[in-house]
A and B are shown apart, each in its own frame.
Chain A
Amino acid sequence: MADQVYWEDIEVGSEIPPLVKEPDPQQLVKWAGASGDFYQIHYDKDFALGNNLPDIIVHGALKSAWLGQLLGDWVGEKGEIKKYGCSYRGMDIPGDKLTCKGTVTNKYEAGGEHCVECDIWLENSKREKTTLGTAVVALPLKG
């Protein structure tokens, strides 16, 4: 993991180090087993095509788990994810290169904590943002 990031080092516009994922169908099956989401659009291509989908698609919840990994890697063990959320705007297909990214939109102190707000998203290899969200994290001071 990267070095600990501190609140003082962050400015509006700072970028979160990106996280790249290249899921294959096997990873979707692993996720199905781990999460208990056995909806066939994620592993049965005939079923997915029958549902007017272009192919089997990556689980939305897996994409949000990756955004959680993006934030967890960034805030480190002394930081804290307060909240995050995302909406699934576009479908992602296994075999594509997907990148989780984020930028800082605000920083402030509240209730003794040093918070940072971010836009977070996942984009495909065509740089289309298929998953859009926001997050609030608390970071440690260098102090």
Chain B
Amino acid sequence: MAEDSVITEEMRSMIDVESDETVYEIEKEPIRRWADAIGDPNPLYRNEEYAKKKRYRSIIGPPAFVDQYSFPVKLGQRQARIISPFTRKLNGGDEYEFFIPVQAGDTVTSTTKLVELLEREGRLGKMLIQIYETTYKNQNGEAVVKSRNTDISY
């Protein structure tokens, strides 16, 4: 089985290597558009006056906002490191841990790393599974969100 493995030594060498930092300036309109796309009418995500009455500086992002908004950047970081032999992709799962709500006006800095590489035989054929962990910190250096994403290619 080992000689058939699609996981190379080069891929394994990427495990636990932190990416460069990416900085996101959190703005109001992307949060509102994001809440619209989900269909979530919560005024905390839309109405700044309302959010200010509820102890926030501005509108806040829905729980998984920052991790999902950063998707294109994370995807680029993954593809720069691991070249999967498979071109078809699926999202296997997402986990989020929340510490402080992300608010408009925050500057969030993230780093991501590959933590696990697996190979599975599935309904769709052979699959390469990559698990990434990403940490997001605010302008005060406080962790706001941590995430764990499972990326499948087949």
A residues adjacent to B (C-beta < 8 A): 1, 21, 27, 30-31, 33-37, 39, 51-52, 59-62, 64-66, 68-69, 71-73, 77, 80-88, 133
> Given A31-B37, A72-B42, A59–B91 Cβ distance below 8 Å?
yes
* Alpha-carbon distance A113/B54, docked complex (angstroms): 20
B68 touches A61 (CB 8 A): yes
Task: Decide: A82 and B97 in contact? CB cutoff 8 A.
Answer: yes
B154 → chain A, closest Cβ, in Å? Answer: 9
Stretch at the interface among B7-15, B28-36, B134-142: B28-36
With A1-B42, A30-B36, A52-B124 already in contact, the answer to whether A86 and B69 are too (CB < 8 A) is: no
Kindly state whether residue B148 has any CB partner on chain A within 8 Å: yes
Complex: A1 Cα to B44 Cα, angstroms: 12
Query: B72 near A87 (CB under 8 angstroms)?
Result: no
Measured CB to CB, the closest approach of chain B to A25, in angstroms, equals 13
User: Are A65 and B97 in contact, CB atoms less than 8 angstroms apart?
Assistant: no
In the complex, the chain B residue whose C-beta lies closest to that of A83 is B97
Are A88 and B93 in contact, CB atoms less than 8 angstroms apart?
A: yes
Q: What separation, in Å, do the CA atoms of A62 and B64 have in the docked complex?
A: 10
| Chain B interface main SS type | mixed
A87 lies within 8 A of B69 (CB): no
Output the nearest chain B residue to A136 by Cβ-Cβ distance: B97
Q: Are A36 and B38 in contact (CB under 8 A)?
A: no
Are B95 and A84 in touch, CB under 8 angstroms? Answer: yes
B94 in contact (CB, < 8 A)? yes
A83 to B148, CA, bound (A): 11
A37→B72 contact, CB < 8 A = yes
Nearest residue (CB) in A for B147 is A85
Question: In the complex, what residue of chain B is closest to A1 when comparing beta carbons?
Answer: B42
Interface string of B142-154 (1 = CB under 8 A from A): 0000001010000
Chain A nearest Cβ from B33, distance in angstroms: 5
- Is B63 an interface residue, CB under 8 A from the partner? yes
Contact A71 B63 (CB under 8 A): yes
- Which of A1, A51, A77, A85 has the largest number of chain B CB atoms within 10 A? A85
Q: Give A62 to B71 CA distance when docked, in angstroms.
A: 12
Contact of B37 among A1, A33, A85 (CB under 8 A): A33
What are 22 A-to-B residue pairs whose CB atoms are below 8 Å? A1-B42, A30-B36, A34-B30, A35-B34, A37-B72, A60-B90, A60-B93, A60-B94, A61-B91, A64-B68, A64-B94, A65-B64, A68-B64, A69-B38, A69-B40, A72-B62, A72-B63, A77-B44, A86-B95, A87-B92, A88-B92, A133-B93
